[in-house]
Amino acid sequence: MGQAGAKLAQLLDTFVVLSIPHIEVMGPSDIVMALHSIDTNESVSGVCQGFIGGGISGEAMLLFNDASFADLAKIMKYEGELDEQAECELLMDTTNVLFGACLNGIAEQIDMSFSFGAPLVLGQHQNISELFNSDKARWDHALVTEISYQLEGYNVNCDLLIVMTESSLDLLFKKLDYLLA
């Protein structure tokens, strides 16, 4: 998570404030409740990207506060009109940096490599609850890691969730036990 923040700070040449990661095994309805707890009734835009490798699979999700786009465009020196397409490009650029650094860092620590699916825009300018539908989940429990990123001095903040499927947990816990031994 720190590697992702460092990459973002390097790219944007600004200090990135990270929250302490919240890590918990959750069911789909628990994730919806957790998302509601970070929902400030402001609209958000979201992107997800699947990953798989060595028996571990999951999805990374980035929830980006829509009020952040103006400052993000300023930081990234975007000079065009800030329409929905431009916001999508800024969102995808930020997503690529955070997902790549975070997931590659996790893979490196557990001595694995991940293959990535194409990123998918979950939605733009919606409430958080509209982006995640627990009825479509194909698992009962998952390991969820949530961390918030903020850019110091700017109105830019986002939440990154890494969801590892329940079928990945045994192998992941064995890897972690080996690393801690």
Mean pLDDT value of segment 21-46: 77
Q: 129 vs 15, which has greater pLDDT? A: 15
67-100 pLDDT tens trace: 888 888 888 888 888 898 999 998 898 888 888 8
Rg (CA), the chain: 16
Distance separating alpha carbons of residues 80 and 69, to the nearest angstrom: 13
Beta bridge partners of 115: 52
Structure tokens at 102: 């975070």
φ and ψ of 128, to 5 deg = -55, -40
Structure tokens at 168: 């990945």
CATH for 2-180 (3.40.50.920, 3.60.10.10, 3.40.190.10, 3.40.1550.10): 3.40.1550.10
Percent of the chain clearing pLDDT 90 (strictly above): 15
Mean pLDDT value of segment 19-30: 86
Inter-residue contact 175 to 43 (CB < 8 Å):
no
Report pLDDT for 164: 92
Alpha-helix runs per DSSP H in the chain: 2-12, 28-38, 69-75, 84-109, 128-131, 169-180
96-127 pLDDT tens trace: 888 888 888 888 888 889 999 999 998 898 88
162-181 pLDDT tens trace: 999 888 888 988 888 887 87
Q: Name the residue among 142, 54, 49 with its Cα closest to residue 99.
A: 49
Torsion of CA 153, 63, 34, 163, to 10 degrees: -120
Distance separating alpha carbons of residues 7 and 144, to the nearest angstrom: 22
Q: Name the residue among 11, 71, 48, 50 with its Cα closest to residue 159.
A: 48
Report pLDDT for 30: 80
Report pLDDT for 58: 92
Report pLDDT for 74: 87
Tell me the whole-structure pTM to 2 decimals.
0.84
Q: Name the residue among 90, 60, 59, 58 with its Cα closest to residue 73.
A: 90
Q: What are the sequence ranges of the domains in the chain? A: 2-180
Mean pLDDT value of segment 56-76: 88
Report pLDDT for 116: 93
